[in-house]
């Protein structure tokens, strides 16, 4: 994976939402600065981690703005609704399943459920399999919100203008790379105690 910041000329695609890529973006500058300062090291993995972190930050900020403006909740809280929805009917999960899936602490999950319950998006139900425990259930109002959000994100993804520059084959290759990288990292992450994660 040498010369990770070098780019080939961007091919124009017949899509109105494609955006031009600047000759030198901020992330290119950051990479070049690190390569200048530590030319003694193979920085490919280090730089790739920076790329993923910055990409995640940009996507998360846009997602958070959308959730706050449209639904009055944080992006982190919307992720709870998404986790409940993707599990299918009856849209119920134990808090333990939620905080492990979302890589947050049990305390953080309790706060998220409190906020979502106050908004009427989830409700707590008694857990018949665990005395004194509870289940988190997506309400009808919460289901409506998450369905609308998923449809909107599918149509108007913040990534769409950026990825419009890639061919379908390049897009599939990029998705496959990201999925395989994440899968390999999640195997290691799940071996840690998730109560330490926030």
Is residue 110 a part of any domain in this protein? Answer: yes
- Cα torsion 27, 33, 39, 40: sign: negative
Is residue 176 a part of any domain in this protein? Answer: no
Q: Is the pLDDT of residue 16 over 80?
A: no
Q: Is the pLDDT of residue 15 over 70?
A: no
- Owning domain of residue 96: 73-165
Pick from 174, 166, 198, 156: nearest CA to 63: 156
Instruction: Band the pLDDT of 195: cuts 50, 70, 90.
Output: very low
**Mean pLDDT, rounded, for 1-23:** 46
pLDDT tens-digit map of 160-191: 888 999 999 999 999 999 999 999 888 876 65
pLDDT tens-digit map of 95-104: 888 988 888 8
Buried b (16+ CB within 10 A) or exposed e, 38-65: eeeeebeeebeeeeeeeeeeeeeeebbe
Is residue 145 a part of any domain in this protein? Answer: yes
Total number of domains constituting the chain:
1
Tokens standing for residue 88: 């299918």
pLDDT for 24: 67
The percentage of residues in the chain with a pLDDT greater than 90, rounded to a whole number, is: 61
Give burial (CB, 10 Å; 0-12/13-18/19+) of 24.
Answer: exposed
pLDDT tens-digit map of 104-114: 888 889 999 99
pLDDT for 191: 59
Is residue 150 a part of any domain in this protein? Answer: yes
**Mean pLDDT, rounded, for 49-71:** 94
Is residue 92 a part of any domain in this protein? Answer: yes
Q: Is the pLDDT of residue 132 over 80?
A: no
3-state DSSP call for residue 75? Answer: helix
Is residue 143 a part of any domain in this protein? Answer: yes
Distances (CA, A) of 152 to 60, 118, 149, 157, 162: 15, 24, 5, 8, 17
SS3 of 42-67: CCHHHHHHHHHHHHHHHHHHHHHHHH
Q: Is the pLDDT of residue 79 over 60?
A: yes
Beta carbons of 87 and 146 less than 8 angstroms apart: no
Report d(CA 92, CA 133) in Å as an integer: 13
Distances (CA, A) of 46 to 30, 37, 161: 12, 13, 26
Q: Check which CATH number belongs to the domain holding 159 and give it.
A: 1.10.10.10
Q: Is the pLDDT of residue 73 over 90?
A: yes
The mean pLDDT of the chain is 84
Report d(CA 68, CA 75) in Å as an integer: 7
2 or 24, which is more confident?
Answer: 24
């Amino acid at each position: 994976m040498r010369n990770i910041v070098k780019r080939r000329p961007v091919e124009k695609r017949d899509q109105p939402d494609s955006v031009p890529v600047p000759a030198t973006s901020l992330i290119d500058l950051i990479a070049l600065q690190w390569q200048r300062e530590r030319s003694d090291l193979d920085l490919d993995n280090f730089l790739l981690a920076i790329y993923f972190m910055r990409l995640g930050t940009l996507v998360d900020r846009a997602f958070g703005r959308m959730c706050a403006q449209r639904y009055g909740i944080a992006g982190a809280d919307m992720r709870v609704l998404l986790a409940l929805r993707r599990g299918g009917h009856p849209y119920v999960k134990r808090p333990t399943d939620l905080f492990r899936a979302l890589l947050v602490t049990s305390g953080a999950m309790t706060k998220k459920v409190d906020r979502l319950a106050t908004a009427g998006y989830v409700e707590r139900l008694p857990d018949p399999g665990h005395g004194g425990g509870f289940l988190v259930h997506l309400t009808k109002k919460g289901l409506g919100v998450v369905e609308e959000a998923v449809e909107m994100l599918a149509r108007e993804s913040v990534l769409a203008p950026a990825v419009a520059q890639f061919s379908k084959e390049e897009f599939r290759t990029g998705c496959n790379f990201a999925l395989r990288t994440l899968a390999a990292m999640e195997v290691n992450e799940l071996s840690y105690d998730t109560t330490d994660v926030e």
